[in-house]
């Protein structure tokens, strides 16, 4: 269980409080520059913050320690790699092992990318590599169900097929008992794959809770200043929000 | 994993053996004197400087996220050069040397260069910290400081007496023959400690390849680590420059060549660069010993051979990768 007690950071976050329970898959929604990444980096311990950050009653404020890396990982939004490293080497250099968990290898279809330099891959292929790279860091903890997985826009640059694959993978990870928090921009995918959502606007939490309670056309309109229409599919009783 | 290490170390030992033992008979007193007071110090210089410059450069390129970084870019070498120019002007040119004992004279030039290197290094840190410490500002302030110091050396060129001018030129182009046991003893000891600390942090350098955020999430205090490694590098380069002058190009070319073959794992590349650098300098010493009538400046050799080799390397591209399994 992860608890945020009024986290604040100048110009980044204002009094963010929340409780994320094991097995929950959270999506952070909000306009550009509203503070989604700030919440994630604050939880990762990379932001100078006031307030308290508790992971199962353990204080995990800044600075991150080596022990924290056993259970907490962060997929950053911008990837930095300055040299022509191959995919395999990436895993070895960050985790001291060439091993890529079977599930990640299959789901993200990395088998044929392994020996190529990361620079030579397309944007979407690179994103798949980075998702696997950062999840591998905490994979043993994920399997035990005590990992804290933070992902900043994991589906950016992915085609629809891999978007769904990735979101399913992330939902599965949370169902093992891990806490998963990701930022996201597609409201309908959030309705489909998230269990909970947090709406962030102007560095503050607008609303948070169960996905079906939080994501409504009215709240989305307040969040994005954009009109949405709600459609209902009677046969599956699923809701869809479409931009007006 | 250990195979390249053993092969490269064996090659280095072989080169040292060739240099030390080839034509000298140890029986005569003269032979022994040459062995102990000329050949051994030159070989030690090759080892200290080769390891220092090349391992430091390999680490520096990763730290500054810039494949072009070499000790010259940090401005450390130019601090030492300015001090050397000052030495040739004041001590030799104005005749202060006449009043100093031989012992002091033998360590004065290296000591002054080392102080110069550390001073310029500190200046660069302070400046980059002032404008926001990150790799880009370190490079920018390094270039700024080294330009100023290069200008200072150029001014001193104007006023130096002709005899000292030649000394300075030789020093600026790097020379393996300057070293003596006093300065080497200190340099060796400090260099060993620095190398040990640097080799210990190579897996953290690997993390840094993925950006500061990722390294930090892994549990590394990035700011402190960058500062620590930069200080180590400044110390190593300062030491190298102070005993052998500035040596061109090996710091740039050797880590690149090794990365083309073995990839980017710093736990391999940083130590291997050191071994290779020491080997290349020993090779220069062998060439100087047996193939030329006057001792050539080392930079002349490394740049003349190294630059064409570098072009070949760039054109060869990733083909070198296949060497991984043979060497």
For the residues A195-218, what does the mean pLDDT come to? 95
**What pLDDT is attached to residue B24?**
63
Closest in B203, B211, B264 to A85, CB measured: B264
What is the interface pTM, i.e. ipTM, of the complex? 0.90
Average pLDDT taken over every residue of chain A:
93
Going by their DSSP bridges, the two strands A196-201 and A204-210 should be labelled as antiparallel
Closest in A65, A76, A133 to B213, CB measured: A76
At residue A233, what are phi and psi to the nearest 5 degrees?
A: -95, 110
Q: Residue A96 and residue A104: Cα distance in Å, rounded?
A: 18
Burial B223-236 (b: 16+ CB within 10 A, else e): eebbeebbbbbbbb
Residue B321 with chain A: CB contacts under 8 Å? none
**What pLDDT is attached to residue A241?**
93
Contact status, residue B268 vs residue B4, Cβ threshold 8 Å: yes
Domain boundaries, chain A: 2-210
Which residue of chain B is at minimal alpha-carbon distance from A93?
B206
Contacts of B28 (CB under 8 A, 6+ apart): none
Contact status, residue A162 vs residue A52, Cβ threshold 8 Å: no
More confident: B67 or A105: A105
- Residue of B217, B267, B321, B324 for testing the chain A interface, max A β-carbons within 10 Å: B217
Q: What percent of chain A has pLDDT over 90?
A: 86
Of the pLDDT bands very low, low, confident and very high (cuts 50, 70, 90), residue A55 is very high
Of the pLDDT bands very low, low, confident and very high (cuts 50, 70, 90), residue B55 is very high
Q: State yes or no: pLDDT of B327 exceeds 60.
A: no
Query: Encoding tokens for residue B160?
Result: 């130096």
Name the CA dihedral angle for A41, A46, A50, A54, rounded to a multiple of 10 degrees.
70
**What pLDDT is attached to residue B323?**
58
Of the pLDDT bands very low, low, confident and very high (cuts 50, 70, 90), residue B50 is very high
User: Count of CB atoms within 10 A of residue A139's CB?
Assistant: 19
Q: Do B213 and A79 touch (CB under 8 A)?
A: no
Task: Report the DSSP beta bridge partners of residue A150.
Answer: A74, A181
Q: What percent of chain B has pLDDT over 70?
A: 94
**What pLDDT is attached to residue B179?**
79
Q: Residue B271 and residue B202: Cα distance in Å, rounded?
A: 9
- Residue of A83, A114, A151 for testing the chain B interface, max B β-carbons within 10 Å: A83
- Residue of B218, B270, B319 for testing the chain A interface, max A β-carbons within 10 Å: B218
- Superfamily of the domain at A2-210: P-loop containing nucleotide triphosphate hydrolases (3.40.50.300)
Q: State yes or no: pLDDT of B27 exceeds 80.
A: no
Q: State yes or no: pLDDT of B320 exceeds 70.
A: no
Q: State yes or no: pLDDT of B204 exceeds 70.
A: yes
B308 touches chain A (CB under 8 A): no
Q: What percent of chain A has pLDDT over 70?
A: 100
Q: Do B265 and A65 touch (CB under 8 A)?
A: no
Q: Residue B305 and residue A127: Cα distance in Å, rounded?
A: 42
For the residues B247-269, what does the mean pLDDT come to? 88
More confident: B164 or A128: A128
Residue A72 with chain B: CB contacts under 8 Å? 217
Q: State yes or no: pLDDT of B326 exceeds 60.
A: no
Q: Do B219 and A66 touch (CB under 8 A)?
A: yes
More confident: B89 or A144: A144
**What pLDDT is attached to residue B162?**
86
Q: Do B213 and A69 touch (CB under 8 A)?
A: no
Of the pLDDT bands very low, low, confident and very high (cuts 50, 70, 90), residue A71 is very high
Which residue of chain B is at minimal alpha-carbon distance from A117?
B263
Q: Comparing C-alpha atoms, which of B194, B196, B202 is closest to residue B269?
A: B202
E strand or H helix at A180? strand A179-183
Residue B221 with chain A: CB contacts under 8 Å? 63
pLDDT tens for A80-120 read: 887 788 999 999 999 999 999 999 999 999 999 999 999 89
**What pLDDT is attached to residue B317?**
62
For the residues B19-39, what does the mean pLDDT come to? 79
Highest mean pLDDT among A240-244, B1-5, B291-295: A240-244
User: Count of CB atoms within 10 A of residue A133's CB?
Assistant: 24
Class of domain B3-325: mainly alpha
**What pLDDT is attached to residue B310?**
81
B325 touches chain A (CB under 8 A): no
Average pLDDT taken over every residue of chain B:
86
Domain boundaries, chain B: 3-325
Query: Encoding tokens for residue A90?
Result: 């990436």
**What pLDDT is attached to residue B321?**
58
For the residues B208-231, what does the mean pLDDT come to? 91
More confident: B315 or B59: B59
Burial of B157 (C-beta count, 10 Å sphere; 0-12/13-18/19+): middle
Q: What is the 3-state secondary structure (H, E, C) of A203-217?
A: CEEEEEEEHHHHCCH
Q: Do A93 and B264 touch (CB under 8 A)?
A: yes
Q: Residue B45 and residue B187: Cα distance in Å, rounded?
A: 9
More confident: A38 or B315: A38
Q: State yes or no: pLDDT of B51 exceeds 60.
A: yes
Chain A nearest C-alpha distance from B208 (Å): 9
User: Which of A52-56, A158-162, A239-243, B18-22 is the least confident region?
Assistant: B18-22
Q: Do A86 and B216 touch (CB under 8 A)?
A: no
Of the pLDDT bands very low, low, confident and very high (cuts 50, 70, 90), residue A157 is very high
Q: Do A45 and B221 touch (CB under 8 A)?
A: no
At residue B34, what are phi and psi to the nearest 5 degrees?
A: -60, -40
**What pLDDT is attached to residue A189?**
96
Q: What is the 3-state secondary structure (H, E, C) of chain B?
A: CCHHHHHHHHHHHHHHHHHHHCCCCCCCHHHHHHHHHHHHHHHHHHHHHHHHHHHHHHHHHHHCCCCCCCHHHHCHHHHHHHHHHHHHHHHHHCCHHHHCCHHHHHHHHHHHHHHHHHHHHHHHHHHHHHCCCCHHHHHHHHHHHHHHHHHHHHHHHHHCCHHHHHHHHHHHCCCCCCCCHHHHHHHHHHHHHHHHHHHHCHHHHHHHCCCHHHHHHCCCCHHHHHHHHHHHHHHHHHHHHHHHCCCCCHHHHHHHHHHHHHCCCHHHHHHHHHHHHHHHHHHHHHHHHHCCCCCCCHHHHHHHHHHHHHHHHHHHHHHHHHHHHCC
Q: State yes or no: pLDDT of A13 exceeds 80.
A: yes
**What pLDDT is attached to residue B325?**
53
3-state secondary structure of A241: strand
Q: Do B263 and A68 touch (CB under 8 A)?
A: no
Residue A69 with chain B: CB contacts under 8 Å? 217-219
Q: How far is CA A233 from the centre of its chain?
A: 28
**What pLDDT is attached to residue A151?**
97
Q: Do B259 and A66 touch (CB under 8 A)?
A: no
A63 touches chain B (CB under 8 A): yes
E strand or H helix at A53? strand A50-55
A86 touches chain B (CB under 8 A): yes
Scanning the structure block, which residue is given the tokens 């990150």?
B134
**What pLDDT is attached to residue B319?**
55
Of the pLDDT bands very low, low, confident and very high (cuts 50, 70, 90), residue B23 is low
Of the pLDDT bands very low, low, confident and very high (cuts 50, 70, 90), residue B318 is low
Q: Residue B168 and residue B85: Cα distance in Å, rounded?
A: 6
**What pLDDT is attached to residue B160?**
87
Residue A68 with chain B: CB contacts under 8 Å? 219
Query: Encoding tokens for residue B146?
Result: 């080294």
Scanning the structure block, which residue is given the tokens 């959502």?
A197
> Is the CA virtual torsion B90, B92, B93, B98 positive or negative?
positive
Scanning the structure block, which residue is given the tokens 């992971």?
A55
Residue B209 with chain A: CB contacts under 8 Å? 81-83, 85, 93
Residue B266 with chain A: CB contacts under 8 Å? 93
B223 touches chain A (CB under 8 A): no
Q: State yes or no: pLDDT of A175 exceeds 90.
A: yes
More confident: B41 or B245: B41
Of the pLDDT bands very low, low, confident and very high (cuts 50, 70, 90), residue A150 is very high
Q: Residue A75 and residue B165: Cα distance in Å, rounded?
A: 58
């Amino acid at each position: 269980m992860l608890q945020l007690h009024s986290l604040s950071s100048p110009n980044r976050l204002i009094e963010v409080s929340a409780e994320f329970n094991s097995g929950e898959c959270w999506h952070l929604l909000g306009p550009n520059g509203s503070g989604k990444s700030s919440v994630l980096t604050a939880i990762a311990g990379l932001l100078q913050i006031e307030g308290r950050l508790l992971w199962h009653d353990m204080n995990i404020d800044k600075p991150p320690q080596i022990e924290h890396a056993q259970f907490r990982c962060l997929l950053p939004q911008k990837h930095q790699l300055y040299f022509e490293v191959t995919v395999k080497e990436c895993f070895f250099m960050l985790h001291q092992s060439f091993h890529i968990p079977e599930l990640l290898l299959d789901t993200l279809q990395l088998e044929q990318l392994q020996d190529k330099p990361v620079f030579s891959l397309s944007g979407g292929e690179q994103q798949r590599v980075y998702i696997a790279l950062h999840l591998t860091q905490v994979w043993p903890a994920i399997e035990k169900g005590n990992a804290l997985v933070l992902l900043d826009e994991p589906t950016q640059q992915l085609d629809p097929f891999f978007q769904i694959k990735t979101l399913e993978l992330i939902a599965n990870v949370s169902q093992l008992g891990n806490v998963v928090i990701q930022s996201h921009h597609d409201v309908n995918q959030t309705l489909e794959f998230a269990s909970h959502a947090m709406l962030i606007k102007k560095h503050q939490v607008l609303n948070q809770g169960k996905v079906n309670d939080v994501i409504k056309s009215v709240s989305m309109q307040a969040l994005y200043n954009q009109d949405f229409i709600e459609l209902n599919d009677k046969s599956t009783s699923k809701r869809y929000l479409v931009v007006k | 994993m250990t195979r390249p290490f053993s092969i490269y170390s064996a090659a280095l030992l072989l080169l040292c053996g060739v240099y030390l033992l080839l034509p000298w008979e140890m029986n005569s007193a003269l032979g022994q004197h040459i062995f102990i007071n000329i050949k051994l110090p030159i070989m030690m210089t090759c080892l200290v400087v080769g390891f220092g410059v090349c391992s430091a450069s390999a680490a520096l390129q990763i730290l500054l996220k810039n494949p072009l970084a070499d000790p010259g870019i940090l401005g450390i070498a130019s601090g030492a050069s300015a001090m050397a120019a000052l030495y040739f002007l004041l001590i030799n040119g104005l005749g202060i040397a006449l009043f100093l004992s031989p012992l002091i004279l033998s360590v004065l030039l290296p000591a002054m260069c080392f102080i110069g290197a550390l001073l310029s290094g500190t200046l660069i840190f302070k400046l980059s910290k002032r404008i926001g410490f990150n790799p880009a500002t370190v490079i920018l302030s390094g270039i700024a400081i080294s330009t100023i110091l290069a200008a200072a050396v150029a001014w001193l060129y104007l006023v130096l007496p002709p005899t000292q001018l030649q000394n300075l030129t030789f020093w600026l182009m790097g020379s393996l023959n300057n070293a003596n046991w006093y300065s080497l003893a200190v340099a060796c000891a400090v260099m060993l400690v620095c190398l040990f600390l640097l080799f210990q942090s190579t897996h953290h350098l690997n993390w840094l390849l993925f950006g500061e955020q990722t390294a930090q999430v892994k549990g590394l205090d990035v700011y402190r680590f960058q500062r620590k490694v930069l200080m180590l590098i400044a110390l190593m380069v300062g030491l190298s420059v102070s005993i052998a002058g500035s040596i061109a190009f090996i710091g740039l070319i050797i880590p690149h060549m090794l990365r083309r073959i073995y990839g980017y794992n710093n736990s391999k590349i940083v130590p291997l660069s050191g071994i290779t650098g020491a080997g290349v300098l020993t090779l220069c010493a062998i060439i100087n010993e047996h193939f030329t009538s006057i001792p050539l400046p080392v930079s002349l050799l490394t740049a003349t051979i190294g630059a064409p080799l570098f072009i070949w390397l760039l054109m060869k591209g990733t083909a070198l990768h296949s060497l991984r399994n043979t060497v």
